[in-house]
Structure 1
Amino acid sequence: MQLVFADHPVPSVVTKSIFLAGPSPREANAIDWRHEAISCLCSSSIDYDGTVFIPVPEQRFYGTDYDPSAWTYDNQISWECECRHVADLIVFWVPRHVNGRMPGFTTNVEFGEDLHCGKIVYGRPEDAEKCLYLDKRMKDLKLPVFISLEDTLHHAVSLLGTGAFRTSGEVYIPLFIWKTEQFQSWYFNLKTAGNRLEKAKLLHHVESSNPKHVFSYLLWVKVWIEAENRYKENEFVFARKDISAVLAYYRDSDEDIKIVIVKEFRSSVNNADGFVYELPSGSSSSPSMDPQFTAKHELEEECGLTIMDMSRFKFIEQRQVAATLSSHRAQLYSIELTKDEYENILKNEIKNKTFGVPDDSERTYLTMVSISQLQHSLLDFSMLGMIYCALFLNKQD
């Protein structure tokens, strides 16, 4: 187990890490609860072999002589902020006593900052004072509240599992982000281009349930650009799961091509109609799902169209959708509809029939757009690009 104290630098290598957050004793003769935490982590029932961040200078923690002037309050704040970002989990143990021994004022601030970071584990003794608010916030997030330090730490270690080896700038990527396909895909290509991740900070993330997984995240990054011999550190990476998109089309008697378009309300839409117009598309909660089956599923879910013969789906290519904003990519497929399928789509368009997943508040409508109408449609540039790529660059016209 690697102990990293407040007067130590951020480690250059981690596999899994825990930050021991919570009040520190204000009286010189009081024993810091983190000694008990270290004993628990070393016990045979837990046997933790990762990194532990301890927000106390090393000599002070062990009660040996040290020069207080060698470590300033500003140093302490900077170290705590950085290492809480680095840590894979932040374990809050709050044995609060407001009579001056351990009021935990700073703990309240840190708890509020970290509440939605996706890394928090929380516990407090049954006799801890003024913890009802913290309890309530954890319960609102459907996260457990522990009343023993050992149980708190045991739960944290179980969440970390075997961890993942990270070095240099990689240590700034929390384990639960590191393990996502979204991150690994982006990071693989960053390294392939010869660039280097120097530093990062998780700004926000969104989790989906059933099964629970990271759907998207926002990550500030500092990147060394090898080809330009400079750093870039004024941008963030928005990442969401890759999507599968389907261009379903019908060639009528006069050789005009009609395309199935999905109309749906999305809060980010910025047009006078208030709805997005797009190809049937979406992502799977399973990283092992074949993108072609995801395309089939989206066609069923958003258009009510079931295609049993998977060979009808033609893979076009994979491209990033909005490279200046998001790292996610689209796997594009095309499928030529039969006359019966086309007429069924038209009937549902006339009926204004809705599709989608109600549990996800998804409500989609169908509309057929001919090639000649594209320039007058509300399709955005990414959708127009997919249509152009599928129909013209791949010679399906």
Structure 2
Amino acid sequence: MSDLSGPLAGANAVGSLAGDDAVVVVHAGEEPPDRWVASLFLAGPTPRSAEVASWRPDALSAIRERWSGPGTLVVFVPEPRSGAPWPEYEHQRTWELRWGDRADQVVFWIPRGPGMPALTTNDEFGRWKDSGRVVLGTPPDAESVRYQRGYAADQRIPVASTLTGTIDLALARLGSGALRTGGERHVPLLVWRTPSFQNWLARQTAAGNELLAGRLEWTFRVGDDLERVFLWAFHAHVRVAAEDRVKTNEVVLARPDIATVVAHRPAAEVADTEVVLVREFRSPAGFVLELPGGSSEGDEPMREVAAVELGEETGLTIAPERLRAHHVRPLAATFSAHRQHLFSVELTEDELAAVRAVTGPLGETGSSERTYPRVMRFGDLLAGGEVDWTTLGALAEVLLSGRDSS
């Protein structure tokens, strides 16, 4: 939230960019357009007196000069339009948090010094610094910004020492953006661009449902610069077409879909069928037995992902064309939106013996993954409690029904 103590003089208030369709400026208390391809929120200190000029007009000029996207870039400015009064305090606060939470990038420019102590800026930075949507700029002579710059270095937040450099960092992250309308505007680009979100949204749209609003609650990001979203949580407001109501009390949690393989040696009795599982340590549960499988950050066909994961985790080299496709289902529909792409392959006695001979650990080189292949009898898995219900369900899909949806 801006550092406010009273109205600014008109000469220091931020003006609009009227007439520029590519960049639309939305001032404090105003409503944004119903569609855009990208959005920025200009966070940082607001002058506390008419003698100190706002930095935001220069930021807007730089944005206008540099934005070359194919559609509308909305810039949220937490200062009133030139000549307009400040909104009532609580309205101002609500407006800032609402659109700062939803902007594709939050631009922090912190020229902390006399007339701009940036007290509320500290709270804003604390709210959004771990969101994956922040760039930080501080001039060399800014006061008391060592903590912000140090945290940014630790968490891979892009940092600049000039205002134009800070704007460039934010625009580079936006790229060409992506068109969003209505409630879709509430989904920041870093999650909008993930296949897991697009898969969830496509299923809602196919059912006739509509995303009305929402808020990104959390992301878990991976990569050297924490640039890839692996897991996200979004508080969605969805109009449920079949019930003609709006559901607002749940969070959508999702990660990339996974591909798993039931590698087995059939027997005369289903209970005697031998299957290949892997034993692996999972932080929520300790050591578990599960199907070999995993996900991909790219766009490889899931059949190929399944074959690669089977090889990495069990040592079996199986050509993708040997894998038989089964249904694609959620693993825990009330908990997460991601799905399991299930495949199966019948093994020879020699292949089964090769798995038995592996002492492990195996897993993806260079990661923390360690897997220990195990050959188990299906009847023993049914009788014991060594595998979870999801794994048992996948085994039943292959060994009992034998249906093929490919």
Q: Distance in 1 between matches of 2:137 and 2:329?
A: 45
Q: Distance in 1 between matches of 2:273 and 2:291?
A: 15
In the alignment, what sits opposite 2:78? 55
Normalising by structure 1, report the TM-score.
0.91
In the alignment, what sits opposite 2:371? 364
Out of 388, 393, 399, the residue aligned to residue 391 of structure 1 is 399
Aligned residues: 377
Q: Quick one: structure 1 residues 372 and 113, their matched pair in 2 at CA, closer, same or farther if it must change by over 3 Å? A: same
In the alignment, what sits opposite 2:346? 336
Q: Distance in 2 between matches of 1:253 and 1:314?
A: 20
Q: Distance in 2 between matches of 1:40 and 1:347?
A: 64
In the alignment, what sits opposite 1:277? 289
Instruction: Tell me by how many angstroms 1:358 deviates.
Output: 5.5
In the alignment, what sits opposite 1:240? 255
Out of 74, 90, 96, the residue aligned to residue 80 of structure 1 is 96
Deviations 1:246-276 (A, max 9, x none): 000013588831000111111111xxxx312
Q: Distance in 2 between matches of 1:259 and 1:89?
A: 48
Q: Quick one: structure 1 residues 364 and 204, their matched pair in 2 at CA, closer, same or farther if it must change by over 3 Å? A: same
Q: Quick one: structure 1 residues 154 and 277, their matched pair in 2 at CA, closer, same or farther if it must change by over 3 Å? A: same
Alignment of 1:48-127 (within 5 A): 50-58=73-81, 62=82, 64=83, 66-68=84-86, 71-97=87-113, 99=114, 101-127=115-141
Runs (5+) with no aligned partner, structure 2: 1-22
Q: Do the aligned partners of 1:225 and 1:231 also contact (CA within 8 Å) in 2?
A: yes
Q: Quick one: structure 1 residues 395 and 226, their matched pair in 2 at CA, closer, same or farther if it must change by over 3 Å? A: closer
Corresponding residue SS for 2:97: helix
Aligned-partner residue type, residue 247 of structure 1: V
In the alignment, what sits opposite 2:334? 324
Q: Distance in 2 between matches of 1:142 and 1:41?
A: 23
Aligned-partner residue type, residue 206 of structure 1: F
Deviations 1:68-121 (A, max 9, x none): 5xx211011100000011210000000101x4x000000000001101101001
Out of 285, 288, 311, the residue aligned to residue 300 of structure 1 is 311
Instruction: Tell me by how many angstroms 1:67 deviates.
Output: 4.4
Corresponding position: 1:381 with 2:389: yes
Instruction: Tell me by how many angstroms 1:357 deviates.
Output: 2.8
Corresponding residue SS for 1:228: coil
In the alignment, what sits opposite 1:226? 241
Q: Distance in 2 between matches of 1:384 and 1:277?
A: 11
When structure 1 is superposed on structure 2, of 337-346 and 205-214 the one drifting more is: 205-214
Q: Do the aligned partners of 2:310 and 2:317 also contact (CA within 8 Å) in 1?
A: yes
Corresponding residue SS for 2:242: helix
Q: Do the aligned partners of 2:158 and 2:169 also contact (CA within 8 Å) in 1?
A: no
Corresponding position: 1:197 with 2:211: yes
Instruction: Tell me by how many angstroms 1:324 deviates.
Output: 0.4
Q: Distance in 2 between matches of 1:152 and 1:195?
A: 39
Normalising by structure 2, report the TM-score.
0.89
Q: Distance in 1 between matches of 2:351 and 2:224?
A: 32
Corresponding position: 1:168 with 2:191: no
Q: Distance in 2 between matches of 1:394 and 1:254?
A: 14
Corresponding position: 1:31 with 2:53: yes
Deviations 1:330-367 (A, max 9, x none): 1100011111110111122xx4x211135331111121
Q: Do the aligned partners of 2:252 and 2:337 also contact (CA within 8 Å) in 1?
A: yes
Q: Do the aligned partners of 1:173 and 1:200 also contact (CA within 8 Å) in 2?
A: yes
Q: Distance in 2 between matches of 1:143 and 1:67?
A: 34
Runs (5+) with no aligned partner, structure 1: none
Instruction: Tell me by how many angstroms 1:283 deviates.
Output: 0.2
In the alignment, what sits opposite 2:12? none
Q: Distance in 1 between matches of 2:85 and 2:168?
A: 35
Q: Distance in 2 between matches of 1:145 and 1:368?
A: 51
Q: Distance in 2 between matches of 1:86 and 1:395?
A: 43
Q: Distance in 2 between matches of 1:330 and 1:127?
A: 53
